[in-house]
Structures are given as structure tokens and as C-alpha cells.
Structure 1
């Protein structure tokens, strides 16, 4: 029995060491093709980044994000939780600088507003985080973060709509502020979206953007005609079981759609959905297992 117990402890220690020291730094690129553009449109490369949870000392992550500029994306979509520390903007500036001038857009997650806190990880099995009993977190400098992303040339989509023309292809974007904290107010974005649709030139594709992929949010974006919806927040489950997948989602999305591409359907409409497993973790839970940190390169092509 002692030998069995010792083996179990050794295996547990090895698993923890892998998740903390190795896998959380094994950054990977997920490549997906969505055939959603009108016939004759050029392919568009959309870089989807999410959940960096950046701290200033995370130089390996910063360098990997910098290398994404080599992909030469046509558009960058940032689905929030950029900051993981009150000085995280220092690291984020270093990471995103090579993407300056590439058209982009962003929405906020809760960790763009509030500094992370130490939490009991088993509470995630009881439901999404952020419920009662938590002490008030420290407020982050969201305004400074927003100014920096806008200075890069990216568009604020928090409860807003906008049009971006990329390679002569008009793209309508509609986004919401963080659904996890219930900051989402899609109704505030709808007048702008309706105004875009009254223009003589019609959009080739509509992309919905949100941080947390709650069902209500995905349903609402699909109802408003989104052809593609991009989100993050879930960390892909962060700690997964090989052959089974994520144990938790930290929202109400079905577990099998916790990361990667899928289709979201509601009330007779459907959209291509990409949920990013994200690039970081909370500094209080620096572990990933069977769920590598990722960014996504989505190639939008003409529908057949």
C-alpha cells in the first residue's frame, strides 16, 4: 500500500509540475477556416487573441505574442481579460507593439476592470465565478488600457458597433462589454448597427464580439445577424481530463463548445463560433493541464 500511495503522490506531483512549469508556457496557434464571405471575396486572416492575463514579468508570453505579427493578419480581434496584474499594461505594450497599425477591435473582460484575487479553485464546480462572498477586488486602470489599444489603431466595441474595411472588404462589428459581470448592453450597440446597415455599401460579413460566451449573449448576437461570433473567458477549461475534456466552463456554454470552432444556433439562425482557450491564467492559479494556451488564426473565405 505504501508503494501505491507513493506512486500516486509522485504522479500527482509530476502532473502539477507539468501544468505549472511546462504546459502553461506551451503557446500554440489554432488555425481555422470559416467560409462566410460572398463569392469573389479575398481570403481574410483574422487573429483572435484573448485572456492574456498579462503580468509585467511574463517575458516568454510577450515574445510569443510579438511573433504573431509574422502571420501578417488582416484584422485583430481581442476578446478581453488582457490584464493579470496592476502593472500588466507594461507587458501588454511590449507584446502588442508589432501589431501596431493592423486594423483591430476589442472588448473588455472582468480582468480589464478588476485585479485578480486568490480563489478556491473548487468553487468553479459550483458555477461561474464572481458570486457573493468575494472581497472587493482592486480597480485597474481600464482607461489607460483603452487608450493604448486605440493608439494601436484598434476600435472599442464595448456595447458598440463599427465598420472596418479590410482589403476592400467591409466588415460590420458588433460587441458587448463583459457578460460575466453583466456589463453587456447590446441594446446600446443596435442603433449604430442599424445605421451601418442603412449605408449604400453592404457589409460582406458581420462579426459579433464578446468576452464571455454566455448563451444569452451568443443568442442575442446571432439574432442580430452575426455570421461569426468570437469569445474567450473559458480558458478552455484550463485543467482538462485527456479523452474527456473540460471539467468546468465558468459560464453556461455547453462543455463541448468550451474552446475552438463550432456552430451556434438560435431561433432558426446560426453563426460560426470561435471560443479561444486564451493565452494566460490568473497569477493565483498558474496552471494548465491538457489545455495549452492559444491564439487563433481564422481564415475567412468565400462560401461555396
Structure 2
């Protein structure tokens, strides 16, 4: 009888533990899908990259919006970002997650389109997501599905261009801002192997303050090396979602590219051939509409204050 009693107690304890674990898992999933993915915030960084004597510049870095119609909380938050009064907006792609998202996304971005801006595309500007197991995200860089649904990227990018934002799809370009010439080099999405490094614009005239900025959606190492060897002084990218589902006090488990996971979010120094370049990787604003969860990785825009080098 004693043995039967002990066995019964053990079974009840195991059932209690299993039930508690399931409840905790359900609570975490509910938090990740209903709460954290809508806890939008602005990460602020100061990066000393401008020529000596320059006035500071405020750069708003947007990435991975993955917009779906009727995302009202996201819409209001995006509209509110104009209150930051950035000098420049840099959009590093993956704006869409639905074929009907362009008009409501443009409405959400309308207050920001009055500021100077540049953009590069991501795969989820060209193609929509398809339903698949979310666990494939943890098996390595994601692959484009066969016959992916096309998205109206031409309509979106046409509106960006009409507002004055410069497209950097395998292009280089320059603009004068705050007394500094900003020289950009941008690539099409490296995650789709569409990147063709265009180099940077020819050097500014002697005595002209200038800053070279490399812009890409996915921070694959080959592209970071192109920019670094080409003389970039700042690199901006997205794509990683910061890992999207992270381990508290540890960080990202995946970067969805060949970037080390500890670089999946934030400012770090990229080094190649003896040069070091500050790089900001955004954790992004949205998620695929088929995997609408974030855990220990809140959605973000990034406000970079560029200051003079020492």
C-alpha cells in the first residue's frame, strides 16, 4: 500500500508539473503574441561619426514594418514618430506583409515622408509570406518559398520616390544635410542574393565635410565587408528582428543570416581588413503575419544622433 501511495503521489506531482509547464507556456505565448509585439518603442543611440566641427544629425532608422491592414496600434505609433523631428529617415526594407497593405502603410508613414529619406528593399517588399511552421526559423536562414505571392512594391516605392526619398537599390547617391555631404551606398536584398555593390560616390571636393553610409536590408557579412572596404563610416541594416524570440538575459538564438547572433540588435563595430565601422542593426517593428510573436525582443525604431568624431 505504501508503494501504491508513493506512486500515486509521484504521478500527481508529475501531472501538476506538466500542467504548470503547459500553463506557463500558454501564458508566454499569449504575452508574446498579444502584448509584446505591440510594445513599440524607440531605441536611442549616439554615434560619433561626423567630421569634426559638424552639427549633430538625427537619423531615424526604420526596418521590418511588415505591415498588415488594420494594424491600428502600429499605425498610430508610426505616425507619432514624426514628433521626433529627424533630419533623415533611413528605411531598410521589409515594409509589407500583405498585398493590400500599401495604402494604409503610406497613411501610417505620411507624417514621416515630409522628412528627407533613403530606402532599400527587403524580400517582404517583393514577396508576401506563406504559412509554414515557425520552427523552421530556428533551422538557419529562411528560404524563399516556391511561387511566393507577389507584393505591389512598385506602388510603395513610387510613393517613396514621389515624396523625395531616394532609392538605393544597388545604387549610390549623395545629399547635403546640415552642412555635411552624406554619401550613400545601398544594395538590393542580400537575403535574396540580389545585392550588387555599387561603391560610394566619388569623394567630395577637398574641405567638404562628408560621411559615407552603407545601407542594406540583411546584414550578410559579404555586404558588410564591401561597405567597410569601400570606406563606409556607418552601416545600417535590419532583417534579423533582433532574434524575434529571445532568451532573457542571453539574447538572440538566430539572426536569419550569417551575422553572429550577438550582433542581431544594436550598435556594434564591424571590422574587416583592419578597418572598424559602427553598424546599427534594428530589431525591427513588425513580424510575419503568420508568426505574430515577439518575446524578450520588443519592436523598435532607432533614433541615431550622429555627432562629430573626437
CA distance in 1, matches of 2:138, 2:292: 18
User: What is aligned with 1:150?
Assistant: 161
Deviation at 1:198, TM superposition (A): 5.7
Which one of the candidate residues 287, 300, 305 is aligned to 1:299?
305
Q: Which has the larger radius of gyration?
A: 2
Q: Relative to 1, partners in 2 of residues 1:271 and 1:26: Cα closer, same or farther, differing over 3 Å?
A: same
| Residue number in structure 1 paired with 2:28 | 15
Report SS of the residue matched to 2:89.
strand
Rounded Cα–Cα distance in structure 1 between residues aligned with 2:256 and 2:154: 26
1:38 aligns with 2:41: no
The C-alpha deviation readout for 1:6-57, integer Å capped at 9, x for no partner, is 1001100100000000000000100001101111100000000000000111
CA contact (8 A) 1:59 1:91 kept: no
Matches within 5 A, 1:207-286: 207-286=213-292
Which residue does the alignment assign to 1:140? 151
2:80 maps to 1:67: yes
Residue 160 (1) aligns with residue 171 (2): yes
Cα distance in 1 for residues equivalent to 2:66 and 2:163: 19
Residue 109 of structure 2 corresponds to: 96
- Structure 2 stretches lacking a partner, 5+ long: 1-13
Q: Distance in 2 between matches of 1:12 and 1:198?
A: 56
The answer for unaligned runs of 5 or more in structure 1 is none
- Which whole-Å CA distance do the structure 2 matches of 1:201 and 1:177 have between them? 32
TM score, norm. by length of structure 2:
0.93
Partner of 2:191, secondary structure, is: coil
Q: CA RMSD in A?
A: 1.2
> How far 1:121 moved relative to its partner?
1.9
Residue 118 of structure 1 is matched in structure 2 by 131
Q: How many residues align?
A: 297
